[in-house]
A and B are shown apart, each in its own frame.
Chain A
């Protein structure tokens, strides 16, 4: 049985920031990740990040992963456990884990005094006939295959979703020499930033707004995709169909928080579409409704890497403070809060602000 003072689940930008913040307060931290490298989503982001300068905006995601990864590997207060999946949370506060080394797995347990969950988010599926055919993938899966493992997903792709993720991965498909037949987006406007949209338009990739997938075709694998125009209620309009030959269909239609461990721990959850679905209620110290359990990054509500780093730092500081190890908590947490407010300001932050307000409202109604 491992007995760390603080255990952090997930070594993405949120988890690494949480671990570093707590360890800087002199607390012993166990940082666990399923993957073989720290970095989370960042290990496959080859583009330069948007966000705030303090959180490495303008630097490629893979570089940020390397910078933070180096820090967690060398910090004496952080024990990094990779290739280890956290499986469950039990009522006595014990977490179970499976660690795989050279094909052999071992079973581990930990009872930390404080828990910080930074498990990130998972991709949402989309319902249409043929959506289970091999070749229909989450956009992030295609990105992992290309950018982490160096394998081409296919020859010709259709992307569903013109948010930043759909646009960025369309560009990355082209960098891997995969043709992109079209990007389809059910909303009447492109959701992602104009810079990303114009980059792929310059490559001659059409972005079809007010369009969605009608059907995916293929015998044993994907061979083609029929898309159609949708009305303002996102219902398909018969007669407007267009067919694309494609062996890859990428779904970039949103993420939802990975919060299983928090459900298991009995944390209060609320359904908030602006934050990606069911999200754990948390206070401004990133603490959930269960004292001693904190949440940060996309697991607390789908946002971005910059804010993931700041909420992670906040959670790490708060966990350390609750153990009596962070004498300057007020000041440090105040700085983090100001950073978050700046990140969430203006039109781009509107959705998040609405989501957080709704989270409070749902929680209040539930009592």
Chain B
């Protein structure tokens, strides 16, 4: 939920953009943190922890704690509390540790030398 009226603050008008959460289109404001846009849409579970598979949300909101890692446009381990939202972004919940090398290779269009799975840790 967005804050409407506020006794002290006014929130400047910003450009609305569409992005995708697990394939589902959502609206947010350009340049706000991805986590803020998700939260405003009622989405607070951002990933599942690597060992126990427990749901995690954000904790610090300023990029210090790594609680909020998600897969953004195919790249895992993105701190969505500080990553700015842009039009057309694809955001996915991260399960496990995330395969960063695989993602970088895929982004560069390089075929991975087999063996390493796409799924991260336990």
Whether a CB of chain B sits under 8 angstroms from the CB of A146 is yes
Contact A221:B55 (CB < 8 A) given known A103-B84, A141-B62, A175-B8: yes
* Contact A133 B57, beta carbon cutoff 8 Å: yes
A112-130 CB mask vs B (1 if < 8 Å, else 0) is: 0000000000110100000
Interface residues of B in 10-65 (CB under 8 A from A): 11, 32-33, 36, 39-40, 44-46, 49, 54-65
When distances are taken between beta carbons in the complex, the residues of chain A under 8 Å from B86 are: 102-103
Tell me whether B109 is interfacial, beta carbon within 8 Å: no
Is the pair A134, B45 in contact by a Cβ cutoff of 8 Å? yes
Could you say which residues of chain A place their CB within 8 Å of the CB of B7?
175
Q: Roughly how many angstroms separate A110 CA and B73 CA in the complex, as a whole number?
A: 31
Query: A136–B67 Cα gap in the complex (Å)?
Result: 11
Residues of A within 8 A of B56 (CB): 132, 134
Contact A60 B8 (CB under 8 A): yes
Q: Evaluate contact between B3 and A141: CB separation under 8 angstroms.
A: no
Do A134 and B36 touch (CB < 8 A)?
A: no
Interface status of A153 (Cβ within 8 A of chain B): yes
Q: With A and B bound together, what is the CA distance between A135 and B46 in angstroms? A: 11
**Known contacts A149-B33, A176-B6, A177-B3: does B44 contact A134 (CB below 8 Å)?**
yes
Q: What residue in chain A is nearest B14 (Cβ atoms)?
A: A150
How far is B45's CA from A248's CA once the two chains are assembled, in angstroms? 13
Contact present for B62 and A144 (CB under 8 Å): yes
Query: Could you count the A-B residue pairs with CB atoms below 8 Å apart for me: how many are there?
Result: 89
Q: Is the CB of A152 within 8 A of B3?
A: yes
Q: Is the interface of B mostly helix, strand, loop or mixed?
A: loop
Contact of B36 among A149, A176, A220 (CB under 8 A): A149
Question: How extensive is the interface on chain B, given as a class?
Answer: 20 to 34
Does B2 count as interface, using CB distance less than 8 angstroms?
A: yes
> Which residues of chain B are near A96, meaning CB under 8 Å?
none
Bound together, the chains give a CA A113 to CA B66 distance in angstroms of: 32
Give every chain A residue within 8 A of B110 (Cβ-Cβ). Answer: none
Q: Is B1 an interface residue (CB 8 A)?
A: yes
> Are B6 and A175 in contact, with the CB atoms below 8 A?
yes
Given A175-B6, A221-B45, A134:B64 Cβ within 8 A: no
Are B36 and A132 in contact (CB-based, < 8 A)?
A: no
Known A-B contacts A145-B36, A177-B3, A221-B45; the reply to A46 vs B9 at CB < 8 A is yes
* B-contacting residues, A6-43, CB 8 Å: 34-35
Measured CB to CB, the nearest residue on chain B to A121 is B64
Q: Provide the B56-83 mask, 1 if CB < 8 A to any CB of A, else 0.
A: 1111111111000000000000000110
A244, chain B: closest CB distance, angstroms: 18
Within 8 A of B (CB), among A312-331: none
Distance in angstroms between the alpha carbons of A87 and B54 in the assembled complex: 29
By Cβ-Cβ distance, the 4 closest A-B pairs, closest first, are A134-B57, A141-B61, A150-B11, A149-B36
Interface residues in chain B, defined as those with a beta carbon under 8 Å from any beta carbon in chain A: 1-3, 6-9, 11, 32-33, 36, 39-40, 44-46, 49, 54-65, 81-82, 84, 86
Write 27 A-B pairs (CB below 8 A) sorted by A numbering.
Answer: A34-B82, A46-B9, A60-B8, A62-B9, A102-B86, A103-B86, A133-B55, A134-B57, A134-B58, A136-B57, A137-B58, A138-B59, A141-B62, A142-B61, A144-B62, A145-B61, A146-B3, A147-B9, A149-B32, A151-B1, A151-B2, A152-B3, A175-B6, A175-B7, A175-B8, A176-B6, A221-B55
A residues with CB within 8 A of B: 34-35, 46, 60, 62, 85, 100, 102-103, 122-123, 125, 132-138, 140-142, 144-147, 149-153, 175-177, 220-221, 258
